A and B are shown apart, each in its own frame.
Chain A
Amino acid sequence: MRQVTLLGPLDGVDLAAEVEACGAAGPVALVTAGWEEGERNDAEIDRRLGGGSRNLNLYGRRLDVLESDVAYADAERLLRTQLDDLRELYLLRVRHALDGVDVIRRRFAEAQRRPGPELDGAIDAVRTLDESHAAAIGAAYERFYSQSVPHERLSIARHREEVAEIVAGCGAIAIAGGHVGVLNDCLHLCNLAVLIEDRPLIAWSSGCMAVSERIVVVDDGDPAGRPDEIYDIGIGVAHGMVALPAAASRLHMHDADGLAVLARRCAPSVCVLLDAGDRLELHAGQPADLGSVGVVDGDGRVLRGAAAA
């Protein structure tokens, strides 16, 4: 059974110990695509992994594909435009739907009553938007992949083969953080979900988001005022959870109402807070021993340890 370890941002984490703990037989295949242009600036992380890691260079490979396969690049630009349009409308609608949730809360608070079905209905409206957006993203990818079948593109096939060959010689895979969108695109392009197979996987920060089924982006301090959003579909190695790295700096943790809405939007998946020092093991792709990792319940409380389980 594949062992998956999810970590918060890396402050002070002994990565070499994590590699040892997962019993990796061979070097670590490293993904730093989320660092974009800084992908190969990986000496420090290699040292922390114990040395000898093999960087899969997924960001560079993606650039090469876009450079060498003009038709694919054009098709992908079109896909990005479609996704951008979907996202713009979705964010607009979610913001208004969340305003509706706030209005219900305020009205009941003024009357010193506890909202019941009215609040449920308002949150359901947001959930409906989330679900239809996730479905629309999925449909856009499906259309794209049926028209531009990746493994039939020479350039992509060649890179996939090279990546598979490197991974075959490695005992574990490590996925770093960075730009979650870029990282996710690179993981999909090189079909990493298939290559992971039974190898131990260690992911941290936004790496945890990209290996989940859905990528949920939260940022209460967003200068553009965008609400929490279903951003993309991850590679689906981790199930039943929404990874929220650096949650303490991105979420207003004192805002129980806001956290409750987030948790209820993501249900039945569990919102897992992954701050620096947090560590979560998955068994069969599901959160197992939560340890000290916080999860958010439907009332906006952050539960840890036995309470969380």
Chain B
Amino acid sequence: MSPGPARGQRALTRLRTEGSSPERIDQLLREQRIPIVEGSTCTFLWRGEADWVGIEHRMTAVPIPLPLRRLKGTDLWYASVELPRGARIQYRILVRRGDEIESMDDPLNPRVAGDPIGSQSVLEADGYVTPDWTYPDPAAVPGELVDLRIASRALRREAHVTLYIPSRMRRDRRMPLMVVHDGGDFLRYSSMATVLDNLMHRRLMADCVVAFTHPGDRLREYAASPAHSRFLTTELVPQIEGSLQLVGEPRGRVLMGASFGGVAALAAAVRAPGFYGALLLESPSLRFTEATAPATFGGVFEPVVRFVNSVRARPEKVTKRIFLTFGAFEPLAVPDRAMVEVLERMCDELRVVEALDGHNWISWRDRLRDGLAWLFPGDARLIYPG
């Protein structure tokens, strides 16, 4: 990905050719979807008076922030980038007036994605399509969401868990259990209940009980905390397995997490080798150091770096399968890529999917089908027309 060539600015070229009057600019903004996507060239636009305008983003090989240029004699600012087909990125507009810098959603772009920190504008490159299995399907009977409170001795707090019970309970089968970190965020920002409903309805994944956990002090508990690992392995999983018709064996236990949640999932598996049959790791924050001290990345990362360094020093098999995904446009792509070799030695089978997206909940949502269909293969291939 790189700043775009002039040939990509076709709409802007037309504007220049036809005269960039305020009326022409109004017309351009009315008629075009912003950012303008012309083949692989994507052009950001912002209109207004400012001393400087830029794009805050995580794209690699593009200046961060990406400065916008002012179209001569107008109040229209622009910058183009080249994006591969199917890519999707999230960004914010930075506007400096005097000493003040304002960060905002793109006022010309109605597509916005939310996360626990706030919102970001969304650029969908040519070829990106929101997967149909992420939308509610009236034909899919929704699973039941049940809130549980578990008094955790390990965490020294009451743990809140939202249990997803699939709509179809077969009497001749025991179901697997998947524990999801940051459960509330996955439900809210990645529409995960809808995704599960649809994938199970279409038999693309096996029916499965899912425990969405809600963190307390997230950055402490998920940073490879032994107490959190203990909570999962000795409290949460046994309690749920004791109350439902579940497989109750390693092959029926999966841990999932994104970002820091991915660290928590891997740490729990490392502390209980063989107890979990698989891991689904999305953009795990697997920061490590080669030569410097673990403190290099700052306080919250210190225990993570210590943990990852120890795993890298002596990778041992802890589970059967690991599904790893991360975005090509996120800073964690570099350490996550470097961890592939290590993770390969920690399981029998590793599958890696590098997405043309970033570190965000929509990217993690869009990869769920790949991960869940691989870890919980469904019966779709056994079903033929009636």
| B173 CB-CB contact with A under 8 Å | yes
From A35, A77, A222, give the contact of B173 (CB < 8 A).
A77
Query: A226 near B174 (CB under 8 angstroms)?
Result: no
Is A205 in contact with chain B by the CB < 8 A criterion? yes
Residue-wise interface mask of B (247-282) relative to A, using a CB-CB cutoff of 8 A (1 in contact, 0 not): 100010000000000000000000000000000000
Q: Give Cα A185 to B384, complex, Å.
A: 16
A231 touching B377, Cβ below 8 Å: no
Interface string of B363-386 (1 = CB under 8 A from A): 000000110011001111111111
Q: How far is the CA of A165 from the CA of B247 in the complex (A)?
A: 38
For residue A162, CB closer than 8 A to chain B, the reply is: no
Contacts A88-B251, A223-B373 known; A73 to B382 CB distance under 8 Å? no
B369 to chain A: which residues have CB within 8 Å?
223
CB pair B370 A179 closer than 8 Å: no
Across the interface, which residues of B come within 8 angstroms of A225, CB to CB? 374
B386 pairs with A176, CB closer than 8 A: yes
In the complex, A181→B251 CA distance in Å?
21
Contacts of B374 in A (CB 8 A): 223-225
A9 to B385, CA, bound (A): 6
Q: Is B172 positioned at the interface, with any CB of A under 8 Å from its CB?
A: yes
Report Cα–Cα, A45/B348, bound state, in Å.
47
Q: Is B156 an interface residue (CB 8 A)?
A: no
A217 within 8 A of B: yes
Asked if A294 is an interface residue, CB under 8 A from chain B, the answer is no
Q: Is A180 an interface residue (CB 8 A)?
A: yes
Q: For the complex, what is the distance from the CA of A181 to the CA of B170, rounded to whole Å?
A: 13
Contact B379 A73 (CB under 8 A): no
Q: Residues of B contacting A102 with CB < 8 Å?
A: none
User: Contact partner of A66 among B171, B204, B380, B385, CB < 8 A?
Assistant: B171
**Chain B: minimal CB distance from A123 (Å):** 22
Closest to A207 in B: B384
Interface SS majority for chain B: loop
Q: Nearest residue in A to B249 (C-beta to C-beta)? A: A81
A164 and B348 CA atoms in complex are apart in Å by: 48
Q: Are B384 and A180 in touch, CB under 8 angstroms?
A: yes
Q: CB < 8 Å: which of B173, B174, B382 contacts A231?
A: B382
* Cβ-defined partner of B377 (8 Å) among A34, A181, A226: A226
In B332-386, which residues have CB < 8 Å from any A CB? 348-349, 369-370, 373-374, 377-386
CB neighbours of A73 from chain B (8 A): 171-172
A 47-80 binary contact with B (CB < 8 Å = 1; else 0): 0000000000000000100110000010011001
Check A206–B381 contact: CB distance below 8 A. Answer: no
- For chain B residues 151-196, which have a beta carbon within 8 Å of chain A? 168, 171-174
Of the candidates B171, B204, B247, B385, the one whose C-beta lies within 8 Å of that of A205 is B385
Alpha-carbon separation in the docked complex, A209 to B383 (Å): 11
A177 within 8 A of B: yes
How long is the Cα–Cα vector from A176 to B168 in the complex, in angstroms? 22
Contact, CB under 8 Å: A224 / B373: yes
What is the distance, in angstroms, from B322's C-beta to the closest C-beta of chain A?
15
Chain A residues positioned under 8 Å from B381 (CB to CB): 217, 219, 222, 226, 250
In the complex, what's the smallest C-beta–C-beta distance from A32 to chain B, in angstroms?
8
A256 at interface, CB cutoff 8 A: no
Within 8 A of B (CB), among A183-226: 185, 205-206, 209, 217, 219, 222-226
Contact yes or no, A205 B386, CB < 8 A:
yes
Residue of A nearest to B370 (CB): A223
What residues on A are CB-neighbors of B247 within 8 Å?
81
Choose among B171, B172, B251, B379 the residue with the greatest number of A CB atoms under 10 Å from its CB. Answer: B172
Q: Give the one of A73, A76, A205, A223 with max B CB within 10 A.
A: A223
Across the interface, A80 reaches (CB within 8 A) one of B172, B204, B377, B383, namely B172
Q: How far is the CA of A81 from the CA of B245 in the complex (A)?
A: 13
Which residues from A are CB-within-8-Å of B173?
77, 80
With a CB–CB cut-off of 8 A, which chain A residues contact B377? Answer: 222, 224, 226
Q: Are B172 and A205 in contact (CB under 8 A)?
A: no
Interface flag for A178 (CB, 8 Å):
yes
Residue pair B171, A179 in contact (C-beta under 8 Å):
no
Residues of B within 8 A of A63 (CB): 171
* Minimum distance in angstroms from A203 CB to a CB of chain B: 11
Q: Is the CB of B383 within 8 A of A179?
A: yes
| CB-based contact A177/B384 at 8 Å | yes
A104 at the interface (CB under 8 A from B): no
Residues of B within 8 A of A45 (CB): 386
A34-B171 contact in complex given A223-B370, A224-B374, C-beta closer than 8 Å: no
Q: Is A246 an interface residue (CB 8 A)?
A: yes
Asked whether, in the complex, the Cβ of A35 is within 8 Å of the Cβ of B172, the reply is: no
| Smallest beta-carbon distance B33→chain A, Å | 31
Residues of chain B contacted by A177 (CB below 8 angstroms) = 384-386
- Does A260 have its Cβ within 8 Å of any Cβ on chain B? no
Residues of B with C-beta under 8 A to A223: 204, 369-370, 373-374, 380
Among B168, B171, B247, B251, max chain A CB count under 10 A is at B171
Residues of B within 8 A of A88 (CB): 251
Whether the pair A179, B382 counts as a contact (CB closer than 8 A) is yes
- Decide if A10 is an interface residue (CB 8 Å cutoff): yes
- Across-interface contacts of A224 in B (CB, < 8 A): 373-374, 377-378
- Provide the residues of chain B in CB contact with A9, threshold 8 Å: 384-386
Q: How far is the CA of A265 from the CA of B134 in the complex (A)?
A: 38
Find A34's partner among B370, B373, B386 (CB 8 Å cutoff).
Answer: B386
CA distance A191 to B247 in the complex (A): 29
Residue A234 lies at the interface, judged by CB distance under 8 Å to chain B:
no
24 contacts between A and B (CB under 8 A): A9-B385, A34-B383, A37-B168, A45-B386, A66-B171, A77-B172, A77-B173, A80-B172, A81-B247, A88-B251, A92-B349, A178-B384, A180-B382, A180-B383, A181-B382, A206-B383, A222-B380, A223-B370, A223-B373, A224-B378, A226-B381, A231-B382, A246-B384, A246-B385
User: Closest 8 interchain pairs by CB?
Assistant: A206-B384, A9-B385, A223-B373, A224-B377, A219-B381, A177-B384, A205-B384, A66-B171
Known: A66-B171, A66-B172; 19 extra A-B contacts, CB below 8 A, are: A9-B384, A10-B385, A32-B386, A34-B386, A45-B386, A80-B172, A81-B174, A176-B386, A178-B384, A178-B386, A179-B383, A205-B384, A205-B386, A217-B382, A219-B380, A222-B381, A223-B204, A223-B374, A224-B374
